[in-house]
Amino acid sequence: MKLRKYLENSRDYTKKSSDIARQLNFAGIGIVLLILLSSKDAEISDLYILLPLITISISLFIDFLQYAIGAFLWKDFYKKKIEEGMSADTEVNIGEEDKWRKKELMVFIILSLFFWLSPIY
């Protein structure tokens, strides 16, 4: 893959999955608001209302972090390769020294999925 492609990856790092997670979070907020508006007994301080709002807020924050960390990792990789003397059009294969980044990204993706799915329960 060309080095330029790694920079592009920093810009659209898991964009589609994040869009879907964000839509689910906002749908969850909408459902909570519908419950609040339709029920005369429901108050914002009720645990069954407050707990989903907290988990949705955490999920939105994790969504932000996944963009920030992903962009940082890819830009750091890009800058490191440029400092090594590569041009943006150089074909780059992730070698043995860069395998830790693959593992780091996989762990991050698995953790992100856990938080993305939190509003569903």
Mean pLDDT for the chain? Answer: 76
- Confidence grade of residue 11 (pLDDT, cut at 50, 70, 90): low
In whole angstroms, what is the distance from residue 46 CA to residue 50 CA?
A: 6
User: What pLDDT is stored for residue 13 in this prediction?
Assistant: 63
Averaged pLDDT for residues 19-44: 84
User: What pLDDT is stored for residue 120 in this prediction?
Assistant: 58
User: What pLDDT is stored for residue 92 in this prediction?
Assistant: 74
For 34-72, write each residue's pLDDT tens digit. Answer: 888 888 887 777 777 888 888 888 888 887 777 777 777
User: What pLDDT is stored for residue 4 in this prediction?
Assistant: 72
pLDDT at residue 5 greater than cutoff 80 = no
User: What pLDDT is stored for residue 80 in this prediction?
Assistant: 84
User: What is the tally of structural domains in the chain?
Assistant: 1
Nearest to 111 by CA among 52, 59, 73, 56: 59
In whole angstroms, what is the distance from residue 70 CA to residue 11 CA?
A: 9
Structural domain of 76: 3-120
In whole angstroms, what is the distance from residue 102 CA to residue 29 CA?
A: 34
Averaged pLDDT for residues 77-86: 84
